Amino acid sequence: MNPALFAIFGDPVHHSRSPLMHNHLFKTMGFNGCYTRIRLEDGARLRETFFKLGLKGANITVPHKEAAFAACDDIRGFANDVGVVNTIVSDNGRLIGYNTDADGFLFAIRGFETIRSVLIIGAGGTARALSARLRQEGMNVTVVNRSKPRLEPFIQEGFNTQTWDNFTPGKFDLVVNTTSAGLEDDSLPLPEELLLPTLKACRYAADAIYGKVTPFLSRCRTLDIPAIDGAEMLLGQGVLANRLFTNDAFDADETEKVMRESFAF
């Protein structure tokens, strides 16, 4: 029998560890599946490419999560609240969209003590998912972004929003970098004169980027702030996505354990 095919779509996508995580699980569990990565420049071609390749499911990363939402026939669960999809599954020719990023992030910060206030840097798909989910958990969320247009949906949803121009460093329990600054370059997500006082006043920090020490994470370490990178979030969203891909074929704890092993590769 042909293996069930899965992929991650993004641009860039070569850095993604999702293929390692899912393939290690498939191999360990004896599941007849294969997961690859696909660089997609035009998000409008996601649906067509997905079906042309005969995929059963896929993850979506930067910058196509909003395009993925638009590409689906049906949206389930939390993705409806945020208009952002990171996991799609084919169901008899229909494309069903989900968001597993936000719960993956909650999984990642479960070791942090009570968080009441959060500064999210960035206003893309990840920021939309996290801001909505963290607010559902009762946290007070502020969003700061380089450009103003991307803040519009946050303004409409009643979040505190600021651009670099009017941002005043304040006190937050948790500061999260959800931008792609530092992913392919050495830039900081906020200008240094704004970022450093903000980090000095916070209790915890988290970066959505994984697999490298970003300039943001490096500043956190210099300042001795407890900080996590995006690997734990990746793991959390991956476990949830895999349950959707395989119709809950494996126990969630076992999935987490096996996927975590792939981080050593």
Question: Residues 26, 85: contact at Cβ < 8 Å?
Answer: no
Distances (CA, A) of 107 to 14, 101, 113: 25, 10, 13
Question: Residues 58, 6: contact at Cβ < 8 Å?
Answer: yes
Shorter beta-carbon distance to ligand NDP: residue 96 or 181: 181
Tokens 């505190």 appear where? 160
Pick from 195, 148, 147: nearest CA to 175: 195
Distance CA 185, CA 187 (A): 6
DSSP calls for 110-152? TTS----EEEEE--SHHHHHHHHHHHHTT-EEEEEESSSGGGH
Name the one range near ligand NDP by CB under 6 A: 19-27, 39-47, 195-203, 227-235: 227-235
For 230, which DSSP code? Answer: T
Residue 176 is a binding residue for ligand NDP (CB under 6 A): no
Distance CA 82, CA 159 (A): 13
Tokens 């952002």 appear where? 84
Shorter beta-carbon distance to ligand NDP: residue 178 or 246: 178
Contacting ligand NDP within 23-52 (CB under 6 A): none
Select from 96, 234, 239, 259 the one that contacts ligand NDP (CB under 6 A). Answer: 234
Residue 97 is a binding residue for ligand NDP (CB under 6 A): no
Site string for ligand NDP, 240-259 (x = CB under 6 A): --------------------
Half-sphere exposure of 64 (CA within 13 A, CB side): 26
Angle (deg, nearest 10), helices 18-29 and 252-261? 120
Residue 87 is a binding residue for ligand NDP (CB under 6 A): no
Contacting ligand NDP within 134-153 (CB under 6 A): 145-147, 150
Distance CA 159, CA 247 (A): 35
Shorter beta-carbon distance to ligand NDP: residue 92 or 166: 166
Residue 205 is a binding residue for ligand NDP (CB under 6 A): no
What's the min distance (Å) between Cβ of 243 and ligand NDP? Answer: 16
> Which residues are marked as active site?
65
For 44, which DSSP code? Answer: G
Residue 183 is a binding residue for ligand NDP (CB under 6 A): yes
Residue 75 is a binding residue for ligand NDP (CB under 6 A): no
Contacting ligand NDP within 101-120 (CB under 6 A): 101, 104
Name the one range near ligand NDP by CB under 6 A: 33-41, 193-201, 203-211, 216-224: 203-211
Select from 31, 204, 210, 245 the one that contacts ligand NDP (CB under 6 A). Answer: 210
Contact residues: ligand NDP, CB under 6 A: 61-63, 65, 101, 104, 122-127, 145-147, 150, 178-181, 183, 187, 189, 208-210, 230, 233-234, 237
